[in-house]
A and B are shown apart, each in its own frame.
Chain A
Amino acid sequence: MSNSTDNLQKIKSSLKRRSRSESRFRWYGRVAIIIGLAAVLALFVDIISKGHGAFKATYIQVDIHYDGDRLGVTSSADKSQLMQANWDALVKSGLREKFSDVSGRRDKRQLYKLVSNGTGFDLKEHLVANPLLLGETESQWLLADDDIDTYYKSWLDGEPYDARLTKKQIQWIDQLHQQGDIRLQLNTNLLTRGDSREPEQAGIYGAVMGSLLTLLLTLMLSFPIGVAAAIYLEEFATKNKFTDFIEVNINNLAAVPSIIFGLLGLAVFINFFHVPRSVPIMGGLVLTLMTLPTIIITSRAAIKSVPPSIREAALGMGASRYQVVLHHVLPLALPGMLTGAIIGMAQALGETAPLLMIGMVAFIVDIPQGFTDPATVLPVQIFLWADSPERAFIEKTSAAIMVLLSFLLIMNISAVWLRKRLERRW
């Protein structure tokens, strides 16, 4: 009797401790989730807060006099005249007129640095597009230099970053601001141009095109091959050592570090087959090998989910095994396979490491037009910009990341949507 009271006493005294430990355990779980979600939030907030500014660029309004005599241009259709003309002089004289009190070589040189050094080229294009402007004066918004851009944006935010500007330049910007001749405008360069050493002129269009071409090739190769392999393994392969070996290989390849695929591409495709470096074909081949395991695994799952009764019914009607697969299994498994393909493509789109190995890190200004043009891809462009010392590239990099993440978001959402809409539950 006393024994059981003792036990009861023991249990009672331990209850508090046990319930405390219960609630502590719950809190561990909650804290873990909160930390995880906080990491997601921190990542996105950090990138968006750094990158949102890049979608706007600073422009300065200057009166440009398209002086035909000074340019030596008599007709805007004459290419050689246009080539030789000193377009920067237009910008310079415009700036001098605006700040007529500036004198001295050093001050003038600083004055010219207010606008981007590619402005002359823009003016040329503008004149070619509007031939009537020759000899006329037009007030135009010119792209500001990246240092000015960084300063002006930070100044608008109330924390001016003036490390790279002189006192005079800051004064001029103040003056421009009071006159309303400096403003933020939508940055079209970011989405319409290729890479550049000048942050204000650099854009991601080239990288986006490179990514698109590379992904297109990856999809064209890896989807048919992956589906074919999955069909073979699920529908035709007999269970033997060889099939097991294929399966082990696929499962292992899915977990091999991506950089190893880069080494493979370097050693086999470039050194052995002499595929040129830095081209979408090369990237597509490497990414195909990399995404193939993912596509095979998801396609197999999709084929597995088609109930055997469908196959049996078709076989019973006299269809051959290939007819069963082609006419019945494949159409029913297709939504699942497409989902897998999209996930694989999303993986390929974000991949950087193997592409570094095969030379897609080159500095490429031109927009790639085909599979054999030198190209870079979006993640590699991000890597290159993140490595650049110019402060303005931080903003650009974050903006490029935002673009990349939105592509990935679209792909993943469409995969989820596809799964919800088209996948049939049996």
Chain B
Amino acid sequence: MESSNLFLLMLALGACAFYIGRGRSLAIASPLGGVRHLHSLPNYYGLNALLWCALPSMGLLILWLVLDEPVINSIVMGALPAELVPSTKADFNLLLNKISNLADGIMSADGQPAFMVAAAESMAGLRVISQWVLTAICLILATIGLYWGWRRVAAEYRARQSVERVMENLLLACACLAIFTTVGIVFSVLFESIQFFRSVPFFDFVFGSDWSPQTAIREDQVGSSGSFGAVPLFVGTLLISAVAMFVAVPIGLMSAIYLAEYSSKSVRTYAKPALEVLAGVPTVVYGFFAALTVAPFLRDLGADFGLTISSESALAAGLVMGVMIIPFISSLADDVITAVPQAMRDGSLAMGATHSETVRKVVIPAALPGIVAGIMLAISRAIGETMIVVMAAGLAAKLTANPLESVTTVTVQIVTLLTGDQEFDSPKTLAAFALGLMLFTVTLLLNIFALHIVKKYREQYE
């Protein structure tokens, strides 16, 4: 049976279990003199039966779906004569893919070697068997669960507590998904990066100044080992982020100050959401804007002044990224500025300070930790931003601090290394994970530090 149909069948069985459990509790209750003689409400008996019926079999279903393909593959490949099994991992996967395509009927069997056809047949057979075994086991488990849930219905059975215990565990599991995600991220980038650092020494990667990840296709080709010195990427990333910060910090901060301290209420109600529109625009739109409007504009402008500005200049990408980050900084700064107590402002004004002096000498220093944290979060945003730089920044790794030239960034390289079909275990693709590890570590540190500052100072004045 198809897994999706099986899933629906289990749901139906679960619904049956609910009604059977509920019905039995009502049947038990009526000779005793009504529902109030039961420990729990009838629905809880039903739910209890449902959980017993559905949970184990659903768990098995999911586990089976995850595991059955690798198991079948290893059985099929293990059954092949040893001399036919390719030695390299890539060829092995290719063969496996071919056999699997044959088994699916995507590829026609004509002209394929006999051993592959045979393997494909055995694979198809195993798949059918696996499906049926799964169906049988799931149904048996569900039926046993249903029976068990039905049998446990009794007037003194604490069905509600039992259901609530299961529910608490389910809720906990959902909350733990955040941990699993983090662990998944750390392991996936770390694992591949370690493999990468086996072929490219860590210090060559972090301190090397030459980045040309093109590896040769053949082993004996000249220059077959690409060089993986990531310094130009780090410099490029920092350059673009710096341009972005030069735009975003003054504009974001000043507009937050103006909106919080000076503007009339009507200006605030319209200008604030209008600025926040910028936060809702997808980054791919900014990328398009940067690549097709801002970059050509800057290039032509530069040409008028006799400057050569690359059409993939760091300036264009940085400017647009800065615009993207403005609302981020302004809303964070707005929060901390409005959190500064009015009494402090009043005190300063009473001493004869002007409004701007109050803002500069009292409000900003008081709000500074929050503002710094906001800027750090914004930097982490800028470093991790992908689409704008993929579309508007260059691909060539150049070690320069001139924003008029084209530079490349960590995220651009991750995307270019990983899009398209590559062998998964070549240093070229693994390098993307090493870059990902760097990116993750840096942004994580920035975020933890920023959140720490925010947490430490948030309630200072409350």
A residues at B contact (CB < 8 Å): 18-19, 21-22, 24-26, 28-33, 35-37, 39-40, 43, 46-47, 50, 224-226, 228-229, 231-233, 236-237, 245-246, 248-253, 255-264, 266-268, 271, 273-274, 289, 292-293, 296, 320-322, 346, 349-353, 356-357, 359, 361, 379-380, 382-383, 386-387, 394, 397-398, 401, 404-405, 408, 412
CB distance from A194 to the nearest CB of B (A): 19
Do the beta carbons of B275 and A40 come within 8 Å of each other?
yes
Do the beta carbons of A25 and B185 come within 8 Å of each other?
no
Known contacts A25-B359, A26-B262, A320-B160; is A260 also within 8 Å of B323 by CB?
Answer: no
**CB < 8 Å neighbour of B189 from A252, A260, A397, A412:** A260
Do the beta carbons of A255 and B288 come within 8 Å of each other?
no
Do the beta carbons of A47 and B289 come within 8 Å of each other?
yes
Residue of B nearest to A409 (CB): B280
Do the beta carbons of B254 and A246 come within 8 Å of each other?
no
Please report the C-alpha to C-alpha distance between residue A398 and residue B289 in the assembled complex, in whole angstroms: 9
CB distance from A360 to the nearest CB of B (A): 10
Please, which residues of chain B bring their CB within 8 A of the CB of A404? 282, 285
Do the beta carbons of B284 and A352 come within 8 Å of each other?
yes
Please report the C-alpha to C-alpha distance between residue A229 and residue B181 in the assembled complex, in whole angstroms: 14
CB distance from B316 to the nearest CB of A (A): 13
Known contacts A26-B258, A292-B178, A350-B282; is A37 also within 8 Å of B191 by CB?
Answer: no
Say yes or no: is B444 at the interface (Cβ < 8 Å to chain A). yes
Please report the C-alpha to C-alpha distance between residue A262 and residue B443 in the assembled complex, in whole angstroms: 16
Which of B13-21, B163-171, B206-214, B343-351 lies at the interface with chain A? B163-171
Write the B167-180 contact mask toward A (1 if CB under 8 angstroms, else 0).
Answer: 11011101111110
Do the beta carbons of B387 and A35 come within 8 Å of each other?
no
Known contacts A43-B289, A228-B174; is A259 also within 8 Å of B386 by CB?
Answer: yes
The binding surface of chain A is classed by DSSP as: helix
Do the beta carbons of A259 and B439 come within 8 Å of each other?
yes
Which among B164, B258, B261 has the highest number of chain A CB atoms within 10 Å?
B258
Known contacts A250-B178, A267-B188; is A259 also within 8 Å of B436 by CB?
Answer: yes
Please, which residues of chain A bring their CB within 8 A of the CB of B439? 257, 259-260
Say yes or no: is B28 at the interface (Cβ < 8 Å to chain A). no
Do the beta carbons of A37 and B415 come within 8 Å of each other?
no
Known contacts A32-B255, A259-B386; is A229 also within 8 Å of B175 by CB?
Answer: yes
Say yes or no: is B418 at the interface (Cβ < 8 Å to chain A). yes
CB distance from B437 to the nearest CB of A (A): 9
Do the beta carbons of B178 and A229 come within 8 Å of each other?
yes
Do the beta carbons of A257 and B384 come within 8 Å of each other?
yes
Please, which residues of chain A bring their CB within 8 A of the CB of B164? 320-322
The 7 tightest CB contacts between A and B, nearest first, are A257-B384, A29-B258, A350-B282, A267-B188, A32-B254, A25-B356, A353-B386
Do the beta carbons of B440 and A260 come within 8 Å of each other?
yes
Please report the C-alpha to C-alpha distance between residue A382 and residue B391 in the assembled complex, in whole angstroms: 11
Do the beta carbons of A33 and B275 come within 8 Å of each other?
yes
Do the beta carbons of B384 and A260 come within 8 Å of each other?
yes
Please, which residues of chain A bring their CB within 8 A of the CB of B302? none
Do the beta carbons of B284 and A379 come within 8 Å of each other?
yes
Residue of B nearest to A230 (CB): B175
Known contacts A273-B66, A353-B411; is A256 also within 8 Å of B177 by CB?
Answer: no
Do the beta carbons of B174 and A351 come within 8 Å of each other?
no
Say yes or no: is B357 at the interface (Cβ < 8 Å to chain A). yes
Known contacts A36-B278, A260-B440, A383-B387; is A293 also within 8 Å of B178 by CB?
Answer: yes
**CB < 8 Å neighbour of A232 from B174, B380, B386:** B174
Known contacts A256-B443, A258-B386, A386-B291; is A237 also within 8 Å of B451 by CB?
Answer: no
Do the beta carbons of B175 and A356 come within 8 Å of each other?
no
Which among B174, B189, B377 has the highest number of chain A CB atoms within 10 Å?
B174
Known: A29-B262, A383-B284. 7 other contacts (CB 8 A): A24-B356, A26-B258, A40-B275, A229-B175, A253-B178, A292-B178, A350-B285
CB distance from B282 to the nearest CB of A (A): 3
Do the beta carbons of A352 and B283 come within 8 Å of each other?
yes
Known contacts A36-B255, A356-B415; is A386 also within 8 Å of B288 by CB?
Answer: yes
Do the beta carbons of B251 and A292 come within 8 Å of each other?
no
Please report the C-alpha to C-alpha distance between residue A170 and residue B293 in the assembled complex, in whole angstroms: 28
CB distance from A43 to the nearest CB of B (A): 6
CB distance from B351 to the nearest CB of A (A): 13
**CB < 8 Å neighbour of B257 from A29, A36, A289:** A29
**CB < 8 Å neighbour of B288 from A21, A232, A256, A401:** A401
Please, which residues of chain B bring their CB within 8 A of the CB of A262? 418
Known contacts A21-B356, A33-B255, A257-B386; is A229 also within 8 Å of B275 by CB?
Answer: no
